[in-house]
Amino acid sequence: MGDEVKFLRPDAIVEPLVDGFYAWLHMVAPVQAAMNLAFAHVPLLESYLQSPMVHINASRNPALRGGYFVSIEEDRSEEVRDLLAAIKRDRTELLDFAAAVAEAEELVRTTATGFDLTPLYAKLPPALSGLVEIAYDTSNQPAIRFIEPLVYQSSIYSEDRQSVQLSLETGVERPFVLSTPRLSSPDVLDLRIPFRHPGLEELFRSRVHGTTLNRLREMLELSDDEAAALSQLLADQPDLYGSRHIDDGARIRYFGHACLVLQTPQAAIITDPWVSADTSASGRFTYRDLPDYLDLALITHGHQDHVVPETLLALRGRVGTIVVPRPSRGNMADPSLALYLSHLGLPVVEVDDFSEVEFPGGTVIATPFLGEHADLDIRAKSTYCVKFGGRTIFVGGDSSGIDPGLYRYMRGHVGPVDMAFLGMECAGAPLTWLYQGLFTAPVTKKMSDSRTLSGSNAEQAAAIMTELGAREAYVYAMGEESWLGHVMATTYNEDSYQLKQVAEFMTWCADHGIKSDHLLGQHEWRW
Ligand SMILES: [Fe+2]
Ligand SMILES: [Fe+2]
Q: Which string of b and e fits 480-512 if b means at least 16 CB within 10 Å?
A: bbebbbbbbbbeeeeeeebbebbebbbebbeee
CB 351 within 8 A of CB 395: no
What pLDDT digit, counting tens, does each position of 417-435 carry?
999 999 999 888 899 899 9
* Percent of all residues in the chain with a pLDDT value above 70, rounded to a whole number: 100
What are the counts of helices (DSSP H) followed by strands (DSSP E) for the chain?
Answer: 19, 23
Q: State the distance from the centre of ligand 2 to the C-alpha of 503, rounded, in angstroms.
A: 19
CB 150 within 8 A of CB 130: yes
- Predicted confidence at residue 476, as pLDDT, reads 97
Q: State the distance from the centre of ligand 2 to the C-alpha of 306, rounded, in angstroms.
A: 6
Strand ranges across the sheet with 21-22: 21-22, 12-18, 162-168, 189-191
Q: State the distance from the centre of ligand 1 to the C-alpha of 257, rounded, in angstroms.
A: 11
Closest ligand (CA of 25): 1
Long-range contacts of 240-249 (CB under 8 A, 24+ apart): 240/10, 240/207, 240/208, 240/288, 240/292, 241/288, 241/289, 243/289, 244/288, 244/289, 244/290, 244/291, 244/292, 245/291, 245/292, 249/389, 249/526, 249/527
What pLDDT digit, counting tens, does each position of 144-194 carry?
999 999 999 999 999 999 999 999 999 999 999 999 999 999 999 999 999
- Say how far apart CA 85 and CA 79 lie, in whole Å: 10
**What is the mean predicted confidence (pLDDT) over 24-28?**
97
Q: Quick one: DSSP state of residue 506?
A: H
Residue 115 backbone dihedrals phi, psi, to 5 degrees:
-100, 180
Closest ligand (CA of 257): 2
Q: State the distance from the centre of ligand 1 to the C-alpha of 44, rounded, in angstroms.
A: 24
Q: State the distance from the centre of ligand 1 to the C-alpha of 413, rounded, in angstroms.
A: 25
- Predicted confidence at residue 179, as pLDDT, reads 95
CB 44 within 8 A of CB 436: no
Q: State the distance from the centre of ligand 2 to the C-alpha of 397, rounded, in angstroms.
A: 7
- Predicted confidence at residue 428, as pLDDT, reads 85
Q: Looking at this protein, which amino acid is placed at residue 449?
A: D
Kind and range of the H or E element at 270?
strand 268-271
In 3D space, the residue among 284, 361, 281, 347 whose CA is nearest the CA of residue 316 turns out to be: 347
What pLDDT digit, counting tens, does each position of 309-364 carry?
999 999 999 999 999 999 999 999 999 999 999 999 999 999 999 999 999 999 99
Q: State the distance from the centre of ligand 2 to the C-alpha of 269, rounded, in angstroms.
A: 19
Inform me whether the pLDDT recorded for 493 exceeds 90.
Answer: no
Q: State the distance from the centre of ligand 1 to the C-alpha of 324, rounded, in angstroms.
A: 14
Closest ligand (CA of 371): 1
Closest ligand (CA of 454): 1
Question: Coil, helix or strand for 417?
Answer: coil
CB 481 within 8 A of CB 520: yes
Q: State the distance from the centre of ligand 2 to the C-alpha of 476, rounded, in angstroms.
A: 9
Q: State the distance from the centre of ligand 1 to the C-alpha of 510, rounded, in angstroms.
A: 27
Inform me whether the pLDDT recorded for 1 exceeds 80.
Answer: no
Inform me whether the pLDDT recorded for 494 exceeds 90.
Answer: no
Question: Coil, helix or strand for 165?
Answer: strand
Residues in the chain: 527
Q: State the distance from the centre of ligand 1 to the C-alpha of 110, rounded, in angstroms.
A: 33
- Say how far apart CA 197 and CA 357 lie, in whole Å: 28
Cα–Cα distances in angstroms (integers) from residue 320 to residues 85, 281, 290, 314, in the given order: 41, 29, 14, 13
Q: What is the 3-state secondary structure (H, E, C) of 332-374?
A: CCCCCHHHHHHCCCCCEEEECCCCEEEECCEEEEEECCCCCCC
Look over the chain and give the mean of its residue pLDDT values, rounded to a whole number. Answer: 96
Closest ligand (CA of 453): 1
Q: State the distance from the centre of ligand 1 to the C-alpha of 10, rounded, in angstroms.
A: 27
What pLDDT digit, counting tens, does each position of 424-483 carry?
998 888 998 999 999 999 999 999 999 999 999 999 999 999 999 999 999 999 999 999
Q: Quick one: DSSP state of residue 381?
A: B
- Say how far apart CA 463 and CA 401 lie, in whole Å: 7
Kind and range of the H or E element at 118?
helix 118-123
Closest ligand (CA of 305): 2
Q: State the distance from the centre of ligand 1 to the C-alpha of 372, rounded, in angstroms.
A: 6
